[in-house]
Structure 1
Amino acid sequence: MKIITGFAEDLISLIYPRVCMSCGNILYKKENILCFSCLYHLPKTNFHLMDDNPVARQFWGKINFTSAASCYYFTKGSKVQHLVHQLKYKGFKEIGEYIGKLYGNELLKSPLFGGISAVIPVPLHPRKLQKRGYNQAEWFARGLATSMEIELDTSTLIRSHASETQTRKSRFRRWENVKEIFRLTDAGRQAGKHVLLVDDVITTGSTLEAAGHALMQVPGISISVASIACAVK
């Protein structure tokens, strides 16, 4: 039976080859989502080990996040951009969960991200969620919650207003576009706790800043931030 199953799997792989979501090369049997080359050579930031890092500096003087970090550097035309594009627009939501599990294991090694009890993904507006079918930040959050063994909270923070696309907007225009689009449904659920607010990519940080301002209404809350990638160095 195992021989037949293995033959069937090989036949399916021949007709519909599994490919790396980053570089597009065919995956070997023991590879999943990313080939071993991309897994080890995609540009990691290691910001989770640095209190003073470029992502954290983006929020200085704007909102008091406890810690902030991103897994990868994001540059135009890069393998990381292709990976995020596959997650966000091509329906490969499992990419988010896979990277979340990987990054969650890294965050557990950092004292900067200690004591976190819940992960909260930046929500999509219901209309966009219906159109896309899933929230890519939520799938990233799922992976983080699994590997860090913490709560996944997708109900405390909601997006009450739709916003325009952030592409090609200045930092000020991005902030104007999102500053009042989030609200809380239950200000007491995470009271006094340390939560991890997550998104897919950090560019200017405007969306996370707006979401953070909404969460700061929770009594005694501490907020850290993480993303799959960031466009800063």
Structure 2
Amino acid sequence: MSLWTDLRDFFFPRLCVACGNRLLSGEEGVCLRCASSLPYTHLYNKVGNEMEQCFWGRFPIERASSLFYYAKGGTVARILYAMKYDGQRKLCVKMGEWIGSELLPTGFFDGIDCLLPVPLFRTRERKRGYNQSELLARGIAEKTGLPVCRNAIYRLRNNATQTHKSGYARWLNVQELFCATADAASLAGKHILLVDDVLTTGATLVACADALSAIGDIRISIVTLAWTK
């Protein structure tokens, strides 16, 4: 470790986003203690897993996986909060790299042509300064070499937050929320992977898939950092 890094960490200590303790050298965003206790789903590349079943009958999904289970107030919830609201850009990329490292050996990314992060509405992204799902996709790309497609769909409106809505209200909230662009035509015949931070009811991801439904012979899979089972 350099003298500058030592001084920086002394005066401006890096803290774990999950527990608030000081990060040690080599730790990034989440300390090893918190990382070791994260609730893995172990879905990996299991065909017909429970997360995949969430989308059966909604659109023809190829595969689906998520790295961690989400629980309100838990470690994963604190990580997601930091990613969205604390300006933790590096943490978003780090979590994407984590997804890539865990799923790559399982064959989950085999046959995928590109990563498509769920877009934010332009004013919300401008206010936040970034789209956490896009940074997740960048992290996955670092480990897989897959390209990130940013311009195939866009969000039509800044819909109200989903946090306190019921399942039915979430579905109403995302009706016709996304629209395909002219660039989306280039995805014909390709297998795309939709990337988002957390899966709850699946309403937002289904809305993304609906926006792409007119593209010929497109195949869609899904990956998220967390899943509210």
The structural deviation recorded for 1:53 is: 2.3
SS at match of 1:84: helix
1:217 equivalent to 2:217? Answer no
SS at match of 1:227: strand
CA contact (8 A) 2:151 2:184 kept: no
Residue in structure 2 matching 1:106, options 80, 102, 106:
102
Q: What amino acid sits opposite 2:127 in the alignment?
A: K
The equivalent of 1:23 in structure 2 is 19
CA contact (8 A) 2:115 2:194 kept: yes
The equivalent of 2:195 in structure 1 is 198
Give TM-score scaled by structure 1 length: 0.93
The equivalent of 2:60 in structure 1 is 64
Q: Distance in 2 between matches of 1:105 and 1:84?
A: 19
> Any gaps of 5 or more consecutive residues in structure 1?
none
Q: Distance in 1 between matches of 2:144 and 2:136?
A: 12
Residue in structure 2 matching 1:10, options 6, 9, 24:
6
The equivalent of 2:79 in structure 1 is 83
Q: Distance in 2 between matches of 1:179 and 1:22?
A: 34
CA contact (8 A) 2:52 2:64 kept: yes
Residue in structure 1 matching 2:147, options 151, 160, 166:
151
Q: Distance in 2 between matches of 1:143 and 1:136?
A: 11
> Any gaps of 5 or more consecutive residues in structure 2?
none
The structural deviation recorded for 1:197 is: 0.1
Residue in structure 2 matching 1:228, options 222, 225, 228:
225
Q: What amino acid sits opposite 1:55 in the alignment?
A: M
SS at match of 2:105: coil
Matched-pair identity in %: 39
SS at match of 1:195: strand
- Aligned residue pairs, count: 228
CA contact (8 A) 2:153 2:184 kept: no
SS at match of 1:27: coil
The structural deviation recorded for 1:27 is: 1.1
Give TM-score scaled by structure 2 length: 0.94
Say what the alpha-carbon RMSD is for the aligned residues. 1.4
Q: Distance in 2 between matches of 1:133 and 1:206?
A: 25
